[in-house]
Structure 1
């Protein structure tokens, strides 16, 4: 028998496990675990689904994973403390936000070499590419005393910053609408109140056209394929006054669902402890939410806005990237074994359960330089945790 396609895989970056969990979205099970660099913090999948790019914030590197073999095939060294990562729509470029260097690295996917470095604002955290590939949007979190955040707009043809859009304080997450007309920026507005908002930027004018109130201490955002919904990971849905400690081990987070036509929250879905990042499947039917404090991934049914499945992953998951639906043919043997043959490869795909792949060669590992908190000389250690890892990591380490 043959089938027309295969469900995409979700790739979860586990910060404290130094690994990536690979989830088959058809079965919602972990089918592989890939070792990468030190403290993986971001994940992005190429448009054809053949490569996964993972930023390792304490290795100053990007691990390039062969998605067919679930093996690291290259390591690209970038700026200091890389976090956010995005792939261009044509798959030829990868953009990496280097938080401590205040730069964006541009990687040529054909050679896995850095071909350009773009200077942006203070503490670039997350990054997104427009659907036409002509613009890159980098959110910068801001520094004391005002913590003013903004979005750097980069022309991909020239690798120059063409505009800077002010948003609110301590922005973390960013996403572009499927039609490219809007950019959504998550503002945590940190200490002492953590009042969460989402700034909606009109890409034609580079002006904020609306502000949506969401739960407290939001992190990341994802937009549905049809553009009608946006999903925001919320750490403290019940609010926080700024007084006393937050219990990072027991607090249940949520995902706020925004109606993008009305720019208002229409639903709130309880997930695990301290949700960090969200991603929507290509068909728009499910939302994957990584729960930093629970070591799990919650899977939300978008039709009901309820969690259908919770999948255990590695320690402190911080990022999720979901690949495309893979066009393929599959031959079912007499014993019921399925041999999946994606059209973009010549060898059979192997996704052995719980398979662990080596994360890079020894000589490359020796060249890695582990950054310290001194990489940002004007920041003390507490601010590094708050501004770079976010308040979740700060509170967890504090408690």
Structure 2
């Protein structure tokens, strides 16, 4: 039986590798915490819409309307622009297997690829080049375990960009980019496979959520010093076989990080003290992407079951008082963005593992209705353009 008691988890350091599998092509080992090893998630159903191909050079030089969606095409080498009602209308080549992306007030998009950080002018839909990583990550490849950039975030003032760089087989690195000079100006060691990067509301700290080492690395901006906090509400037993690891975080206005686990437990990390409080969740499904609406509502993406007693894919809508609505989704999804007015969520269908599909699900947060919008190639990172 699963426990949903309120817990307080002490902060420890932990460095273990693996997601569901220890290496590309390896069989999935036991899931730990009393779970059996899952079969790969099912492929998207035959009812999924057929993606609309978009030539990479179809980018007329006219302004992109506000509210356009931008996705990172992890299954290709582009970012795709989508109208939230009509679907894809343009794409720009950025580099192999783009993962996360961030967009500043000036309209520039920064995209973490396997080859470097690509820069795109989203208003004219033109490439502005690519910034090479300082960290050596091995041969350029694609797929779940590829080296290169993963999570990415801008400082509130837009002057610095922070990218979590995966180094296959070892600890990751936080690379700091001067956005004016467009070059890497600092590197800080972090944990393994930094799925997500977040910045504190005051811009003074950067947080790397490290999947394979069960932790979050907090880095004070302007300083090489880093603090590591274990975030493992299910423990770290299972080693390479454990699926129950942190993926994405959202930072509240009070500075605490919210990290959803398995639709059962929400880890609330206070980086000032290192304490991790655990609150119950209700979706009962493996969870990845997380985002906050303007009113502080947490959105958490449920990717689907990893054990026989898990529920299907969903989007959890969690109010600040802890009450939740769980909206079913069709098939695995990865990340989520929210409209400026907070009424609509956009959930990317890329997914880091098998079962992905080429499009996004649009969710009306008021009436819980959903519709599928084709577009992109295994889209992971997603944002709404200002």
| TM-score scaled by length of structure 2 | 0.70
Is residue 2:256 matched to residue 1:186? no
Query: In the alignment, is the contact (CA less than 8 A) between 2:304 and 2:331 conserved in 1?
Result: no
> What is the distance in 2 between the residues matched to 1:184 and 1:290?
20
Q: Match of 1:257?
A: 317
Is residue 2:370 matched to residue 1:312? no
> What is the distance in 2 between the residues matched to 1:272 and 1:40?
24
Q: Displacement of 1:261 after TM fit?
A: 1.9
The alpha-carbon distance between structure 1 residues 132 and 24, as it changes in their structure 2 partners (threshold 3 A), is farther
Structure with greater strand percent:
1
3-state SS, counterpart of residue 40 of structure 1: coil
Structure with greater helix percent:
1
Q: Match of 2:126?
A: 71
1:30-58 deviations in whole A, cap 9, x for unaligned? 23111220111111111x1411111113x
Q: Match of 1:133?
A: 203
> What is the distance in 2 between the residues matched to 1:212 and 1:62?
37
* Among 345, 349, 352, the residue aligned to 1:287: 345
Query: In the alignment, is the contact (CA less than 8 A) between 2:285 and 2:313 conserved in 1?
Result: no
Q: Match of 1:364?
A: none
Cα RMSD for the two superposed structures: 2.4
> What is the distance in 1 between the residues matched to 2:68 and 2:174?
27
1:101-134 deviations in whole A, cap 9, x for unaligned? 5110001100110000011122322111111111
The alpha-carbon distance between structure 1 residues 272 and 72, as it changes in their structure 2 partners (threshold 3 A), is farther
Give the number of equivalent residue pairs: 292
Query: In the alignment, is the contact (CA less than 8 A) between 1:9 and 1:22 conserved in 2?
Result: yes
Q: Match of 1:98?
A: 165
Query: In the alignment, is the contact (CA less than 8 A) between 1:44 and 1:322 conserved in 2?
Result: no
Q: Displacement of 1:282 after TM fit?
A: 2.0
| TM-score scaled by length of structure 1 | 0.68
Query: In the alignment, is the contact (CA less than 8 A) between 1:98 and 1:125 conserved in 2?
Result: no
Q: Displacement of 1:259 after TM fit?
A: 2.1
> What is the distance in 2 between the residues matched to 1:28 and 1:258?
29
Q: Displacement of 1:163 after TM fit?
A: 4.8
Query: In the alignment, is the contact (CA less than 8 A) between 1:56 and 1:63 conserved in 2?
Result: yes
Q: Which has the higher contact order (CA 8 A, sep 6+)?
A: 2
Q: What are the within-5 Å matches in structure 2 for residues 333-344 of structure 1?
A: none
**Which segments of 5 or more consecutive residues in structure 2 lack a partner in the other structure?**
1-63, 138-146, 234-243, 351-355
> What is the distance in 2 between the residues matched to 1:271 and 1:72?
33
3-state SS, counterpart of residue 142 of structure 1: helix
Query: In the alignment, is the contact (CA less than 8 A) between 2:82 and 2:375 conserved in 1?
Result: no
**Which segments of 5 or more consecutive residues in structure 1 lack a partner in the other structure?**
144-148, 189-194, 244-250, 325-399
Is residue 2:290 matched to residue 1:221? yes
Q: What are the within-5 Å matches in structure 2 for residues 13-24 of structure 1?
A: 13-24=72-83
